[in-house]
Copies of this chain bind each other. A is one copy, B any other.
Amino acid sequence: MTDSRIPDNHPRAKSLHTREKLINSHLEGIVAASGLIAHGRGEAFDYLLGEKTSKLALEAIDAAAAMFLTARNPVISVNGNTAALVAEEVVKLANITGSKIEVNLFYRSRARELVIKKLLEKAGAHEIFGVGKNASARIPELSSERRRVDPKGILAADVVMVPLEDGDRTEALVKIGKKVIAIDLNPLSRTAAKATITIVDNIVRSMPKLVGSVGKMKNQGVGKFREILRNFDNGKNLAESMLLIKENLSKFAAEGGTERGRAM
């Protein structure tokens, strides 16, 4: 189904390669059909953000690193799209921050759980939470399969990273007292608004940067982490990300949109 003859000099080659990876992962049963649609929404916002990590996103990444480094029991929640795009970076981040990895799916099936678990193990993970009978606890106020969590994983966590999640789930986690780190390309989404820290960036670019930020910051004192967290204002960061999109719209419109628009 995919066309791997994407020329390297195509102005949007990276985005097209990521798209291809998602489609292949869909054929392998990792990514749900609705995950492909969600990816398309992300592509549109990434395009409007200029397809690069903004200074604002870098600030959110540093705040997320500080939050991981002050957490007692951090958990990284992994869905199909996250596993398909950044399984290795999830494992690296878990290792460097002492986080658990938990599989949490909107469309949960035994087959999807297992194929995602296998992918994470192939990327180097030793223990995967939230699979099968282990997802025995329930988060209130969520109607779908997303409410199922692992009592030893997300339920016991103080900090939960939910890359590429939906607003309902983010809100439900915040309501039961979790600090939530989200990665979401749409600064207007409910996920973005409800999370404690929102990284408005493409997960493919931001995950390696987050791992790097934790590595650089790791040996500083907890006082420094608290200072970074005190100085970070998520609402302000989101408002400025919206401004960035508005500026880019003006710029692309002036350029006529023809080159930027390639293959959109």
Contacts and interface: CB of A to CB of B under 8 A. Distances in A.
A5 B144 CA distance: 10
A134 interface: no
A232 interface: no
A42 interface: yes
A44 B186 contact: yes
B1 A193 contact: no
A43 interface: yes
Given A189-B264, A190-B258, A264-B167, A144 B3 contact: yes
Interface string A231-242: 000000011001
A90 interface: no
Contacts of A263: 166-168, 190
A33 B27 contact: yes
A85 interface: no
A24 B75 CA distance: 34
Given A37-B43, A40-B44, A253 B188 contact: yes
Most buried by B among A22, A32, A34, A188: A188
A262 interface: yes
Contact of A264 (B27, B41, B246, B253): B41
Nearest to A188: B257
Contacts of A129: none
Given A242-B253, A246-B249, 15 more contacts: A1-B32, A3-B107, A19-B34, A22-B37, A26-B33, A36-B37, A37-B37, A39-B40, A167-B261, A188-B264, A189-B264, A238-B257, A239-B253, A242-B249, A246-B250
